[in-house]
């Protein structure tokens, strides 16, 4: 599969971060198989692709580490055989990207600090605090460009040099805190030519740090001993993600933890690194879209037309900041301090397009150029939002996305069960308004049955599908479009073809591609229903007939009903549903069985077998 994916990338001429990830998968395969020379070649190609696409970011470093692991394994293998590594590896034994021994002017503080810890710090603490070692965690995290790997020559004027953090609980600090601080202060003041630098500005950033103080400073919460001991224990529920700054959250999860035997700080950081809660994420996406659009797609041009160049530059800066923030939010990552927003784009898979767009924007001279670039940047960001399933349509004027994002922010405060109920109730209200040519159907007055049938279906869906369909349904209802009426109207193509010809122009036209997708979905789901009917004939007998060829004027089959329903889906919803069906098929699951099992449980049975046995009596 790795080889096939790489072939697809090559056929398309794509050499981005995703291509590098595919190569990395193949490299891992070669390493596990013991084909280390092949692994080196693949990882070297992956490094080149990653550097070209995103620069030497954290992903690049990981690839480099894997490359070096292959090289080391090959060297050991050749040495055991008494063979020459150079002879076997040839020109592929080295890499232009390989880290040389020693440091240079481009060396990052995180690497220096790690080596200082391993060679100087850890041996001392391991010897003096052997009994307490499991209670200590070591790493480099928090404030400072070196924690991000963003430091350079300019960064070395303050708070830079061989240092590290020792994270402890309050309990441990009370017992040995003073001794830990004394030992840390006595460590060598210089390492490989670099001097330790503790200034007033950096006070509390390095050395012995209480985990509770670290959480209070960056998260605004008090991490009790219980939470630390349990590694997370509800820490996310206590964080006010709406008010804590992106930079503080970013500082909490950045850097590296090298030793943490009990997983104390590691567990807390892992929980926070999951990103924003869903409802907050949607709200922040909406805010960033609005800020980009207001500053960059509206106000900046008006300022230029007024001859207000200063305000126009301010608006340009606000738009650039919003674009950067949006790039982080799309991947549910915490944006660093403003001074590192642009630099940090290198670590985002979608950051390259934003970075190039902002660079071009800086060079624009005329209003026409500015409008063109902002439009292109807006379209790029909208496409990323669409591809990541946040929005329904690619509209480059990002302010148009805010309504959908804010609605989904509200919806996402609900559980999946609550969302299914909201959908079922919205559908029933629309169903009540359907004008049936044969008169009002009895099922239009039967909420209990309707509610169970619809919820049974939606309980199988993933959260993204639920949010999208609820948004689509409410949007269409507000526009005066009854999707339930459309669904039953589309069924008439099979049940009442002559009448359908009269009304079909009232429905949105389907493309040939959409029709082909819908028919393939129907084929798969009909096969699932056939399989279910064979195993559970009595339960299947309570449902619709299976095939379209069994349709009668007032007796619609499962296949026809399904075709009519998914024909009403929006482009995005059809895309999500198609992916859902494909994944179920790949996993060997049967959606008909899953849906019927939900129905049985909602009716009070323990499962399908109990319901089948009851009906068989």
Q: What SS3 string covers 72-96?
A: HHHHHHHHHHCCCHHHHHHHHHCCC
Nearest to 486 by CA among 526, 430, 442: 430
Helix (H, G, I), strand (E, B) or coil at 122: helix
93 pLDDT more than 60: no
Provide the pLDDT for residue 580: 97
Mean pLDDT of 106-111: 80
113 pLDDT more than 80: yes
Quick one: three-class SS letters along 273-331? Answer: CCCCCHHHHHHHHHHHHHHHHHHHHHHHHHHHHHCCHHHHHHHHHHHHHHHHHHHHHHC
Cα-Cα-Cα-Cα torsion 564, 568, 573, 574, nearest 10 degrees, comes to: 50
From the centroid of its chain, how far is CA 166? 31
Mean pLDDT of 156-179: 88
Quick one: three-class SS letters along 375-401? Answer: HHHHHHHHHHHHHCCCCCCCCCCHHHH
Report the percentage of the chain scoring pLDDT > 90: 61
Provide the pLDDT for residue 377: 94
Is there a contact between 117 and 164 (Cβ–Cβ < 8 Å)?
A: yes
Provide the pLDDT for residue 22: 92
94 pLDDT more than 80: no
Provide the pLDDT for residue 130: 92
- Please provide the average confidence, as pLDDT, over all residues in the chain: 88
Helix (H, G, I), strand (E, B) or coil at 191: strand
Is there a contact between 114 and 256 (Cβ–Cβ < 8 Å)?
A: yes
Provide the pLDDT for residue 230: 64
Model pLDDT for residues 467-488, shown as the tens digit of each residue: 999 999 999 999 999 999 999 9
Mean pLDDT of 592-600: 96
Task: Please count the other Cβ atoms lying within 10 Å of the Cβ belonging to residue 296.
Answer: 27
Model pLDDT for residues 192-223, shown as the tens digit of each residue: 878 887 554 446 788 999 999 999 999 998 76
550 pLDDT more than 80: no
Residue 92: which pLDDT band, with cuts at 50, 70 and 90?
very low
Is there a contact between 242 and 234 (Cβ–Cβ < 8 Å)?
A: no
Provide the pLDDT for residue 90: 43
Provide the pLDDT for residue 224: 67
Separation CA 273–CA 250 (nearest Å): 8
What angle in degrees, to the nearest 10, is found between the helix axes of 463-478 and 571-586? 160
Name which residue leads in pLDDT, 602 or 353: 602
Provide the pLDDT for residue 227: 61
From the centroid of its chain, how far is CA 554? 46
544 pLDDT more than 60: yes
What angle in degrees, to the nearest 10, is found between the helix axes of 278-292 and 402-411? 170
Provide the pLDDT for residue 173: 94
346 pLDDT more than 90: no
Residue 406: which pLDDT band, with cuts at 50, 70 and 90?
very high
591 pLDDT more than 90: yes
Is there a contact between 466 and 427 (Cβ–Cβ < 8 Å)?
A: no
Which of 232-236, 402-406, 545-549 reaches the highest mean pLDDT?
Answer: 402-406
Phi, psi torsion values for 195, nearest 5 degrees: -95, 145
Provide the pLDDT for residue 107: 72
Is there a contact between 239 and 272 (Cβ–Cβ < 8 Å)?
A: yes
584 pLDDT more than 50: yes
Separation CA 490–CA 564 (nearest Å): 5
Provide the pLDDT for residue 105: 54
Report the percentage of the chain scoring pLDDT > 70: 92
What angle in degrees, to the nearest 10, is found between the helix axes of 36-54 and 58-81? 160
327-331, 437-441, 499-503: the lowest-pLDDT one: 437-441
Model pLDDT for residues 68-85, shown as the tens digit of each residue: 999 988 888 887 877 755
CA distances from 530 to 115, 543, 550, 558, 601 (A): 63, 12, 14, 11, 21
pTM confidence score: 0.79
408 pLDDT more than 60: yes
Mean pLDDT of 526-545: 90
């Amino acid at each position: 599969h790795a080889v096939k994916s790489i072939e697809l990338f090559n056929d398309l001429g794509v050499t981005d971060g995703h291509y590098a990830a595919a190569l990395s998968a193949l490299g891992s395969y070669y390493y596990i198989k013991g084909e280390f020379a092949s692994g080196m070649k693949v990882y070297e190609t992956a490094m080149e692709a990653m550097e070209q696409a995103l620069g030497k970011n954290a992903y690049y470093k990981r690839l480099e580490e894997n490359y070096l692991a292959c090289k080391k394994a090959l060297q050991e293998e050749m040495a055991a055989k008494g063979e020459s590594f150079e002879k076997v590896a040839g020109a592929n034994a080295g890499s232009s990207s390989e880290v040389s021994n020693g440091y240079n002017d481009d060396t990052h503080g995180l690497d220096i600090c790690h080596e200082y810890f391993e060679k100087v710090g850890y041996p001392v603490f391991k010897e003096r605090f052997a009994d307490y070692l499991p209670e200590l965690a070591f790493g480099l995290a928090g404030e400072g460009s070196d924690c991000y790997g963003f430091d350079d020559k300019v960064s070395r004027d303050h708070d830079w040099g061989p240092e590290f953090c020792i994270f402890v609980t309050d309990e441990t600090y009370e017992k040995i805190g003073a001794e830990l601080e004394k030992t840390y202060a006595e460590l060598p003041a210089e390492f490989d030519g670099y001097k330790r630098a503790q200034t007033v500005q950096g006070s509390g950033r390095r050395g012995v740090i209480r985990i509770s103080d670290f959480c209070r400073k960056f998260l605004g919460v008090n991490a009790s001993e219980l939470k630390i001991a349990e590694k997370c224990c509800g820490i996310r529920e206590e964080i006010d993600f709406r008010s804590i700054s992106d930079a503080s959250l970013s500082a909490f999860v950045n850097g590296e933890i090298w030793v943490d035997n009990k997983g104390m700080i590691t567990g807390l950081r892992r929980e926070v690194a999951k990103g924003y809660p869903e409802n907050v994420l949607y709200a922040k996406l909406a805010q960033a879209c609005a800020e980009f659009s207001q500053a960059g797609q509206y106000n900046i041009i008006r300022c230029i037309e007024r001859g207000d160049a200063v305000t126009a530059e301010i608006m340009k800066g606000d738009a650039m900041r919003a674009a950067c923030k949006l790039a982080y939010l799309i991947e549910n990552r915490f944006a660093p301090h403003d001074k590192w927003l642009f630099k940090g784009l290198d670590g985002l898979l979608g950051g390259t397009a934003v970075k190039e767009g902002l660079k071009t924007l800086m060079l624009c001279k005329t209003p026409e150029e500015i409008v063109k670039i902002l439009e292109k940047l807006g379209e790029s960001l909208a496409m990323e939002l669409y591809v990541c399933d946040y929005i329904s349509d690619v509209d480059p004027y990002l302010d148009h996305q805010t309504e959908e994002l804010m609605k989904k922010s509200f919806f996402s405060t609900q559980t999946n069960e609550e969302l299914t109920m909201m959908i079922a109730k919205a559908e029933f209200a629309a169903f009540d308004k359907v004008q049936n040519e044969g008169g009002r159907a009895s099922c239009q007055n039967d909420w209990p049955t309707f509610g169970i049938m619809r919820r049974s279906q939606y309980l199988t869906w993933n959260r993204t599908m639920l949010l999208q369909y609820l948004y689509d349904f409410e949007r269409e209802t507000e526009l005066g479009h009854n999707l339930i009426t459309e669904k039953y109207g589309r069924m008439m193509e099979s049940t009442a073809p002559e009448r359908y010809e009269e009304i079909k122009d009232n429905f949105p036209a389907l493309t040939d591609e959409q029709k082909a997708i819908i028919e393939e979905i129907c084929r798969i789901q009909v096969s699932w229903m056939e399989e279910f009917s064979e195993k559970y004939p009595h339960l299947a007998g309570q449902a619709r007939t299976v095939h379209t060829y069994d349709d009668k004027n007032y007796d619609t089959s499962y296949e026809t009903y399904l075709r009519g329903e998914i024909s009403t889906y929006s482009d995005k919803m059809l895309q999500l549903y198609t992916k859902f069906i494909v994944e179920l098929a790949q996993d060997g699951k049967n959606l008909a069985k899953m849906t019927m099992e939900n129905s049985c449980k909602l009716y009070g049975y323990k499962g399908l077998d109990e319901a089948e046995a009851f009906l068989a009596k």
